[in-house]
Amino acid sequence: MKSYPSIFNDVIGPVMRGPSSSHCAAALRIGKICRAIMNNDIKEVYIEFDPNGSLATTHSGQGSDMGLFGGLLGWEADDERLKDYEHHIQDAGIQITIDIHDIAATHPNTYKITLKNNTETHQVIAISTGGGMIEIIEIDQATVSMYGDFYVTLLYTQKPSAIYNTLQDLNLGEVNMHLGNQKFISVRSSKALQAELQQVITTLKDIQSIKAITPVLPIKSRKNLSVPFITVEDMLIYNADKNLNLWELALEYESIRGHIKPQDVLDKMGNIVEVMRNAVITGLKGTKYKDRILGPQSLTFKQKFENGTLLPGDVLNTCTMYTSAIMEVKSAMGVIVAAPTAGSCGAIPGTLIGTADVLHLPKDDIVKAMLAAGLIGVFITEHATFSAEVGGCMGECGSASGMAAAGLVVLKNGSLQHALAAASIALQSSLGLICDTVADRVEAPCLNRNVMASSTAISSANMALSDYDQVIPLDEVIETMKRVGDAIHHTLRCTGLGGLAITKTAKTIEAKLAGYKSILNTPSFKNC
């Protein structure tokens, strides 16, 4: 069963490189779990994508190959070596084959992966669910449900019933028996219990192999996990006798969800804000990267802003400049924070850090605003989606706009109701936004839409602070996001098969970029 969302797992993060969190960071996490299942020994990998999903057309350009191969090599999502992943996978001697054919996938981001070494073969089916989050749904043709937030031990055995009964009696975690084309027991536990389990395993007979899978998410889950609220309505009831601000409610939520101290939550968000700030600084110095559409446009914007060429508006122009700089760092394979995704990584930090700088506010205020934005994201990911493959860009830049709007209200010391109204107004303005990336690069129209998300957030925050009527409560807007996302045609959900992606100019750009970076020309792997 899926755990409740965490701000640091599901919303603000991961810290990563690459154009897309649902392609790069999620694929890397899937790859790391595959590596653990193979006990870090992989010789051959056969990857299957469904032609009706997103990955068939985007796995190379949006970084799924990069992320997956990096995970198979055991790297982290911000590893410098990801820029040259094809050479490293070749040097590791891992033979990769990618095949696109009907695999009856029901999710657009489905990975079917067969892994081999000299002694064993295993098959994994996994999905990327948005913002770097994943679910392993099948191992060796047996149904599983793994989100990467628990310690999981797999015990392969020809006598699963006896092992299952023994482990059930020991109460060392959640035990399940799986009867696919290979028989195994899974034990989901905390780190301490996994250590105890390892000691017990040495006394058991008939175990063929053991696979120890460590969590790939920063915030771990636990048995009987609970949260204080999971809808806006629940939160308001919870807060009725507390009178907490939105950032304080976010602090309380994440502390309870993650079973960590409030100060640890603040410190962790503070570290994330530093990564975001560094992305702004790096972007405004100028970025270079061959395999992209757009150059460092924020430099020109900065020059025009400083010499008075632009229409006046310090907050809006600063936020536009910062948002652009972060997006350019992402496109140059620099380190960014998916917030809530890599495709929308510029809007929230660009808006909140930019506004704070204009208002001369300290870092602590940015941390509080970021927590508030994160809590709005918790409600969105629980009841709608961040995945463009599922809900279009409404799930990415639309969500970012609503989250940033709430954070801006917190920066201006607005009330809880003002923050919720700002988020509602911004999200209402983003309903139905499609995802149609040009040339399979997360740059155009993504940069424009990040800036749009920022400007909408600023307007929405000011409207809310002026007591404009939101009309539709935030919970109902989020429910509407889910319905609208389901109604968007699949060609307009990050497949490159509709919208701006199929214009004459987009196809010309796509052809021009095709020769810059083609993994298929390397001898280490091939397409079928």
517 pLDDT exceeds 60?
A: no
198 pLDDT exceeds 90?
A: no
Average pLDDT of 306-329? 97
What's residue 178's pLDDT? 97
pLDDT 10s digits, 244-256:
999 999 999 999 9
- Answer whether 433's CB lies under 8 Å from 445's CB: no
Report the relative pairing of strands 121-130 and 133-139 from DSSP bridges: antiparallel
Q: 392 burial class (0-12, 13-18, 19+ CB within 10 angstroms)? A: buried
Greatest C-alpha distance within the chain? 77
Q: In this structure, what token pair is assigned to residue 256?
A: 């309870």
Q: State how far the Cα of 263 lies from the Cα of 257, in Å rounded to an integer.
A: 14
3 state SS of 498: coil
What's residue 190's pLDDT? 87
Q: Which of 88, 60, 54 is nearest to 74 (CA)?
A: 88
The residue with greater pLDDT, 232 or 523, is 232
3-class SS shares of the chain: helix, strand, coil, % to 5: 50, 15, 35
What's residue 444's pLDDT? 96
pLDDT 10s digits, 424-436:
999 999 999 999 9
What's residue 60's pLDDT? 87
526 pLDDT exceeds 90?
A: no
Element spanning 193, H or E: helix 191-201
* pTM for the model: 0.93
Name the average pLDDT for the chain. 94
| Contacts (Cβ under 8 Å, ≥6 apart) of 123 | 112, 113, 114, 115, 138, 139, 140, 141, 181
What's residue 425's pLDDT? 98
pLDDT 10s digits, 61-87:
889 999 999 999 999 999 999 999 999
Confidence of residue 514 (pLDDT cuts 50, 70, 90): confident
Percentage of the chain with pLDDT > 90?
Answer: 87
Q: State how far the Cα of 40 lies from the Cα of 44, in Å rounded to an integer.
A: 12
What's residue 521's pLDDT? 44
Q: State how far the Cα of 283 lies from the Cα of 295, in Å rounded to an integer.
A: 11
What's residue 522's pLDDT? 45
Q: Which of 448, 465, 470, 336 is nearest to 412 (CA)?
A: 465
314 pLDDT exceeds 50?
A: yes
Lowest-confidence region among 188-202, 391-405, 417-431, 455-469:
188-202
Confidence of residue 525 (pLDDT cuts 50, 70, 90): low
Q: In this structure, what token pair is assigned to residue 386?
A: 């961040």
DSSP 295-362: --HHHHHHHHHHTT-SPS-HHHHHHHHHHHHHHHHHHTT--EE-SS-STTTTHHHHHHHHHHHHTT--
Angle CA(18)–CA(19)–CA(21) in degrees, nearest 5? 80
The residue with greater pLDDT, 259 or 192, is 259
The residue with greater pLDDT, 520 or 180, is 180
Q: Which of 320, 256, 293, 243 is nearest to 508 (CA)?
A: 293
| Contacts (Cβ under 8 Å, ≥6 apart) of 349 | 273, 276, 277, 279, 280, 322, 326, 337, 339, 370
Confidence of residue 520 (pLDDT cuts 50, 70, 90): very low
Looking from the CA of 128 toward its CB, the CA atoms found within 13 Å total 32
Q: How far is CA 399 from CA 4, 424, 434, 472, in A?
A: 18, 10, 13, 16
What's residue 118's pLDDT? 97
Report the relative pairing of strands 151-157 and 142-146 from DSSP bridges: unpaired
Lowest-confidence region among 102-111, 199-208, 334-343:
199-208
* Angle, helices 262-284/314-331, rounded to nearest 10 degrees: 90
What's residue 203's pLDDT? 87
Q: In this structure, what token pair is assigned to residue 198?
A: 């390892």
What's residue 278's pLDDT? 98
Strand order in the sheet with 95-100: 142-146, 133-139, 121-130, 110-116, 44-49, 95-100, 525-527
Q: Which of 141, 42, 129 is nearest to 391 (CA)?
A: 129
Q: Which of 170, 174, 177, 223 is nearest to 201 (CA)?
A: 170
pLDDT 10s digits, 143-189:
999 999 999 999 999 999 999 999 998 888 999 999 999 999 999 99
2 pLDDT exceeds 80?
A: no
